[in-house]
Structure 1
């Protein structure tokens, strides 16, 4: 009312040039203020409605069921920032202490999520794959590795069934021990060639980048069947960007991890589609192929549908990332921990020396040799316990189910993590101590389902044996050639979801 009176009085009076100018200024200021307060009011109303809707949804979901204790955090983003940018063991440990050591709820990547903890939780999840839960990939991962679904001009008549993707690996038995045995000799020769090319004649090397080159070369040979593995290995930096993008927030503009991951995925996908075309041409001539890519090209679904090239490229790209990243991390931290413990190195050397002295010059490693690397593998297990290559994986509830007295509704995501057991003193006394003897026969350790870097139960990671052979083959060849020491024992480890030595883990080499 005062505002309208003020304007009326000035409009009613005789106007001079100055007065007219002042009125315009006052009118403009008033309109600006009114627009500001109107915008602020609208914003407050929108925020209030959003919060009310969020609270309403939460109450509807939990109204008739007893949901796990915990917090869904902020609207939309939930607790994603704490999960992605905080330390995984702290994120999980703090909530286990606050809510429950068995289960708690949170919201990650926009999805209500139940985190099931401890060895009993691990056993429950692994035993109920395809019954209560199925694999689920976070949205950043879906965007990077499922371009074929986004680009499809028309929907597929019969969408792939849940779990269909893993059948690609399991059905031909490529990753079963009996199949991997045939590839062991090639793994051995690739390991030797790698050390001759990148390590020999050097006083110092950076382990992490070289480990990634080695494991990507192996994966390229095994999954793609290409005889020039360096062709894909040259794209290591692109695979690094994709790996970081998988565990980022979807912010697709220059400078963000997801943007870099998306650009890298495009470049890698182009190279893989070229490899696919070359593979098809070679197969058309009748050439015999024994690799996963060849199987994908000819494999049909129950409907008789062949897999399109774009889909093959995306799935192979996912396999390559999984086949190189985690294995490279395991090798790197094995080198780190052993380089800091000469006593452990000597035990590994003794075990490996017994193997290579029993063989003739030029003989490749065999399956029995791998089985005799028990202590070496225990050291790898301890390295993975202290610095897990993989923090955890997501699943999706395909029906309502109850665990520890709480209901997980259908559609909720379920997160399995190593962080609830790996450094728990209840399962691993002196958890920060590097002690491979924990796993000696007769000790009773590890307690079942407490150390599960590859998952467990009937759905154990199909790549476990591949990873074990790749790591042990490398260990055999590097130990029989070199002793080493870590240049920076206090080197910082960056990246919580994907642990990375800040300087690449430089080591000094001493050749035998």
Structure 2
């Protein structure tokens, strides 16, 4: 059966859609998307199972945990960049960033740092997961090693573990979410920095200050403190996500009869939520079509979470938003301090 679809936009719409839990809206995707990611991804799970899996992700990706991954991440990024760019006069930014973020995702989040297992993940999920489970039972790997071992170990109160299908579909969803959107933002940052001398000058100044400070102190790898000082670089990323949202829409389904803005939305009707319009609304952002990272430094009026939603919001906010920030800043640091680059001929 085909159900009508309601389009919801604006600040009030953001609050209504993003702030509601599964008792009001259930997450849904077009059938074409479900065929790719499966029917048991995080957003499609029941409320108790969603809380279980989301809780595991949030625990693994919380700031306190991320601090311990920074030096390893820095090492991976540095090695990949040196290897990929060595003796090359130019690179395809999109392809390069996709390979790099793919490498980071598998190494940091899944603990796979060899090429062959990464390829094997797409050929035999069952064998890989059985091996992880056995190593976990045998005490050969630590619970905190990677996100997959963490998810394999968690239980509901009734000791019910995550099922094979839930784990596989969540795995696919994590790969797509952590790889695709991050590589797009990094490609956009390279594009912007290559085209805007003023922006690249400020980013370069900030990153070189960190680079030279570390050289004087004898430190070789980035630290959590270093990342926290990359304030302007992150504001550039924030402004790019405001003007060019990485995820500009999503689908929901009404879990019950609803009313919004005086309109009746029957149960099972689809809701198409769109984020873009509000982030270029001149009543919310001054000169919204002007690229201005400083608007996130000292905004003339507070920027409500309902006005700026690059990572979603409410109970379904992206679990990996803090990890994405760490990854993006680390990569840009190496790209800016080790190379001079500009936009080449696209022909």
TM range (shorter): 0.7 to 0.9
Which residue is equivalent to 2:35? 143
Corresponding residue SS for 1:416: strand
Task: Quote the residue 1:199 is aligned against.
Answer: 85
Aligned residue number for residue 215 of structure 1: 101
Q: Mean Cα displacement is larger for which, 475-484 or 165-174? A: 165-174
Of structures 1 and 2, the one scoring higher in RCO (CA 8 A, sep 6+) is 2
Residue 174 of structure 2 is matched in structure 1 by: 319
Partner-residue secondary structure (3-state), 1:305: coil
Secondary structure of the 1:396 match is: strand
Q: Find the residue that maps to 1:125 and give its secondary structure.
A: helix
| Change in CA separation of 1:280 and 1:381 when aligned onto 2, cut-off 3 Å | same
Equivalent residues, number: 340
Q: CA separation of 1:301/1:122 partners in 2, compared to 1, >3 Å: closer, same or farther?
A: same
1:476 alignment partner in structure 2: 333
The answer on whether the counterparts of 1:218 and 1:229 sit within 8 Å (CA) in structure 2 is: no
Q: Secondary structure at the match of 1:187?
A: helix
Look up the SS of the partner of 1:394 in the other structure. strand
Question: Does structure 1 retain, via aligned residues, the 8 Å contact 2:62–2:322?
Answer: yes
Residues 402/310 of structure 1: CA separation in 2 closer, same or farther (3 Å cut):
closer
Report if the CA contact (8 A) 1:134-1:162 is conserved.
no
Structure 1: gaps (5+ residues): 1-75, 77-109, 150-158, 235-266, 492-502, 504-512
Kindly indicate whether residue 24 of structure 2 is the aligned counterpart of residue 132 of structure 1: yes
Q: Give the number of the structure whose alpha-carbon radius of gyration is greater.
A: 1
Q: Check the 8 A contact 2:56/2:151 in 1, yes or no.
A: no
Q: CA deviation at 1:339?
A: 0.7
Deviations 1:212-249 (A, max 9, x none): 111111111233211325743x6xxxxxxxxxxxxxxx
In the aligned structure 1, how far is the partner of 2:32 from the partner of 2:117? 27
Residue 256 of structure 2 corresponds to residue 437 of structure 1: no
Name the CA distance, whole Å, in 2 between partners of 1:222 and 1:175: 11
Q: CA deviation at 1:269?
A: 4.2
In structure 2, the residue matched to 1:286 is: 139
Residue 357 of structure 1 deviates from its aligned partner by 2.2
- How far the C-alpha of 1:302 sits from its partner, in A, is 4.5
2:203 aligned to 335, 343, 348, which one? 348
Q: Once the two structures are superposed, what CA deviation does each residue of 1:179-230 show, in whole Å capped at 9, x if it has no partner?
A: 1111111111111011111123322111111101111111112332113257
Q: Is 1:269–1:317's contact at 8 Å kept on the other side of the alignment? A: no
Equivalent pair of 2:73/2:108 in contact (CA under 8 Å):
no
Task: Give the unaligned 5+ runs of structure 2.
Answer: none
Name the SS of the counterpart of 1:402 in structure 2: strand
Superposed CA deviations along residues 280-316 of structure 1, whole A, max 9, x for unmatched, are: 3432431123212112323334454333434422221
Aligned partners of 1:148 and 1:122: how far apart in 2? 25
Map of 1:46-57 to 2, 5 A cutoff? none
Q: How does 1:160-171 map to 2 (within 5 A)?
A: 161-162=46-47, 164-165=49-50, 167-171=52-56
Match 1:364 to one of 199, 214, 221: 221
Instruction: Tell me if structure 1 keeps the 8 A contact 2:245–2:310.
Output: yes
Q: Which residue of 1 aligns with 2:274?
A: 417
Match of 1:31 in 2: none
Question: Partner of 1:483: helix, strand, or coil?
Answer: coil
Determine which of 129, 136, 139 is the counterpart of 1:276: 129
Distance 2:211 2:173 in 1: 35
Q: Is the 8 A contact 1:223 1:320 kept in 2?
A: no
CA contact (8 A) 1:427 1:447 kept: no
* SS of residue paired to 1:480: helix
Cα distance in structure 2, aligned partners of 1:331 and 1:404: 38
- Could you tell me the TM-score, scaled by structure 1's length? 0.61
Distance in 2 between residues matched to 1:438 and 1:144, nearest whole Å = 38
Contact 2:279–2:285 under 8 Å retained in 1: yes
Cα deviation digits, residues 328-371 of structure 1 (max 9, x gap): 00100011011100111010111112222222344322222222
Contact 2:153-2:161 within 8 A present in 1 as well = yes
Q: What CA distance in whole angstroms lies between the structure 1 residues aligned with 2:303 and 2:192?
A: 20
| Deviation at residue 429 of structure 1 after TM alignment | 4.2
